[in-house]
């Protein structure tokens, strides 16, 4: 692929909240984002979510074929709706993530998708970074940097993704390239929606706390939040990353609380972990722009504003689509991989040197 070539590329992400597949098209040269294209969200059925949930914590050598085929089938359906895309970025579904131990496992075979879609597919974005000593996550930060450039930001800012897990990218947009030293610092902040969703499902049979309604009625149990913040994860220097279920103990800690107090406490735990992350940034960001489903939870947004000491706004305030940002990120990263550009750096994943991860599979 030529250095300056513009590519119409579609990215697809199946996130840790297990709610469905996001797919979004952009036009990029791997540096700038020139255009945003079509996007689609395809929810999983309850039965499909249950299949994926049963595969969490499993590794490729375990039998995950049913769940992996499900990921491939749904992605094939979704991605066939983007006939104009020349290239595909396919994240897959994370089943397990243990970068300092067994590695990282995103299910779904990009080679199969390349054949089905009859176009090149970039996939397995995280393994090379882990093999080179990195966390393998978060990977959206290089895309966050491109967005900061696109909005012509001229002071440090943060982009916060609140999905199943939270991740924050601190950006100094005055530097030229994402891999420049000092341009970025990125890390997972802690659990975000995953514990809230899990408790809602277990106690009330509902998938999430819609509009933060239940959390708004409850009282935060501060001693649970304080104990949560004692977890060694919060004492580690960034970059650092988390597996979806690394904090399952938190659910046990709220077991004796009423539904509303438990949800309020889990919501504040998420906000408090972000506030800890903000403290770890090289300097205070001018503002925090929030992407991911958590920005639709007003209780969480209010708690964030109250504990972070930095203005907090939804990323729509600067004109970007907070539902599709991660799918766009994997589109952007796919072009970088195809052009031999790095996708992570010491400051985003802790990898030894800036590297490009990802495998390219071409149709047979």
Ligand X SMILES: Nc1ncnc2c1ncn2[C@@H]1O[C@H](COP(=O)(O)OP(=O)(O)OP(=O)(O)O)[C@@H](O)[C@H]1O
How far is the CA of 108 from the CAs of 21, 102, 126, 131, 193, in angstroms? 13, 18, 13, 19, 24
3-state secondary structure at position 66: helix
Q: Residue 359, annotated ligand binder?
A: no
Q: b/e map of 178-193 (b: 16 or more CB within 10 Å)?
A: bbeeebbbbbbbbbbb
How far is the CA of 113 from the CAs of 73, 78, 79, 108, in angstroms? 9, 11, 9, 9
**Residue 208 binds which one of ligand AH0, ligand X, none, with CB within 5 to 8 A depending on kind?**
ligand X
Give me the least distance between CB of 97 and ligand X, in Å please.
11
- Binding region for ligand X (CB under 6 A) out of 206-214, 217-225, 255-263, 265-273: 206-214
Question: How many angstroms separate the CA atoms of 188 and 226, rounded?
Answer: 19
Give me the least distance between CB of 299 and ligand X, in Å please.
8
Residue (221 or 348) nearer to ligand AH0, CB: 348
Residue (221 or 269) nearer to ligand AH0, CB: 269
Q: Residue 214, annotated ligand binder?
A: no
Question: How many angstroms separate the CA atoms of 222 and 220, rounded?
Answer: 6
Residue 93 in the binding site for ligand X (CB under 6 A): no
**Residue 139 binds which one of ligand AH0, ligand X, none, with CB within 5 to 8 A depending on kind?**
ligand AH0
Q: Are 360 and 120 in contact (CB under 8 A)?
A: yes
Give me the least distance between CB of 138 and ligand AH0, in Å please.
3
Three-point CA angle 192, 194, 195, nearest 5°? 90
Question: How many angstroms separate the CA atoms of 276 and 201, rounded?
Answer: 28
Q: What is the largest CA-CA distance in the chain?
A: 60
Residue (218 or 233) nearer to ligand AH0, CB: 233
Residue (156 or 195) nearer to ligand X, CB: 195
Q: Residue 18, annotated ligand binder?
A: yes
Phi then psi for 10, rounded to 5 degrees?
Answer: -115, 135
Give me the least distance between CB of 235 and ligand AH0, in Å please.
19
Question: How many angstroms separate the CA atoms of 155 and 351, rounded?
Answer: 26
Give me the least distance between CB of 160 and ligand X, in Å please.
11
Q: Which residues contribute to the site for ligand AH0 (CB under 6 A)?
A: 15-16, 94, 97, 104, 137-140, 161, 163-165, 167, 188, 241, 326
**Residue 209 binds which one of ligand X, ligand AH0, none, with CB within 5 to 8 A depending on kind?**
ligand X
Residue (147 or 338) nearer to ligand X, CB: 147
Residue 141 in the binding site for ligand X (CB under 6 A): no
**Residue 140 binds which one of ligand X, ligand AH0, none, with CB within 5 to 8 A depending on kind?**
ligand AH0
Phi then psi for 74, rounded to 5 degrees?
Answer: -65, -40
**Residue 348 binds which one of ligand X, ligand AH0, none, with CB within 5 to 8 A depending on kind?**
none
Residue 161 in the binding site for ligand X (CB under 6 A): yes
Residues of span 277-336 touching ligand X by CB under 6 A: 292-294, 296-297, 326
Give me the least distance between CB of 292 and ligand X, in Å please.
3
Residue (179 or 326) nearer to ligand AH0, CB: 326
| Helical axes 141-150 vs 325-338, angle rounded to 10° | 100
Question: How many angstroms separate the CA atoms of 245 and 190, rounded?
Answer: 10
How far is the CA of 52 from the CAs of 15, 49, 69, 198, 260, in angstroms? 11, 5, 10, 14, 28
User: In the complex, which residues of this chain contact ligand X (CB under 6 A)?
Assistant: 15-17, 19, 161, 163-165, 193, 196-197, 208-212, 292-294, 296-297, 326
Binding residues: 15-22
Binding residues for ATP: 15-22
């Amino acid at each position: 692929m030529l250095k300056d070539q513009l590519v119409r590329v579609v990215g697809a992400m199946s996130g840790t909240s297990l709610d469905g597949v996001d797919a979004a098209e952009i036009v990029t040269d791997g540096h700038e984002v020139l255009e945003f294209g079509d996007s689609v969200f395809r929810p999983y059925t309850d039965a499909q979510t249950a299949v994926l949930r049963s595969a969490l914590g499993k590794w490729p050598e375990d039998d995950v074929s049913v769940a992996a085929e499900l990921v491939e089938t749904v992605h094939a359906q979704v991605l066939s709706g983007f006939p104009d895309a020349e290239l595909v970025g396919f994240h897959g579904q994370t089943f397990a993530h243990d970068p300092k131990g067994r590695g990282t496992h995103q299910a779904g075979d990009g080679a199969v998708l390349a054949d089905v879609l009859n176009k090149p597919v970039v996939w397995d974005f995280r393994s090379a970074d882990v093999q080179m000593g990195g966390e393998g996550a978060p990977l959206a930060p290089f895309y966050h940097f491109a967005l900061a450039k696109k909005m012509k930001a001229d002071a440090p800012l943060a982009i916060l993704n609140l999905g199943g897990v939270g991740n924050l990218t601190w950006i100094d947009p005055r530097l030229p390239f994402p891999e420049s030293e000092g341009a970025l610092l990125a890390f997972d902040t802690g659990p975000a929606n995953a514990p809230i969703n899990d408790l809602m499902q277990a106690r009330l049979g509902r998938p999430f706390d819609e509009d933060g309604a239940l959390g708004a009625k409850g009282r935060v149990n501060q001693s649970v939040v304080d104990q949560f913040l004692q977890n060694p994860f919060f004492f580690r220097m960034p970059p650092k990353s988390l597996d979806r279920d690394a904090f399952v103990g938190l659910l046990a800690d709220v077991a004796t609380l009423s539904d509303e107090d438990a949800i309020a406490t889990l919501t504040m735990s998420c906000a408090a972990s972000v506030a800890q992350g903000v403290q770890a940034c090289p300097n205070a960001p001018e503002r925090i722009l929030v992407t991911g489903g958590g920005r639709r939870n007003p209780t969480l947004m209010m708690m964030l504003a109250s504990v972070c000491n930095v203005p907090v706004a939804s990323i729509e305030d600067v004109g970007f689509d907070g539902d599709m940002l991660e799918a766009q990120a994997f589109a952007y990263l796919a072009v970088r991989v195809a052009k031999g550009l790095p996708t992570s750096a010491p400051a985003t994943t802790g990898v030894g040197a800036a590297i490009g991860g990802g495998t390219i599979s071409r149709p047979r």
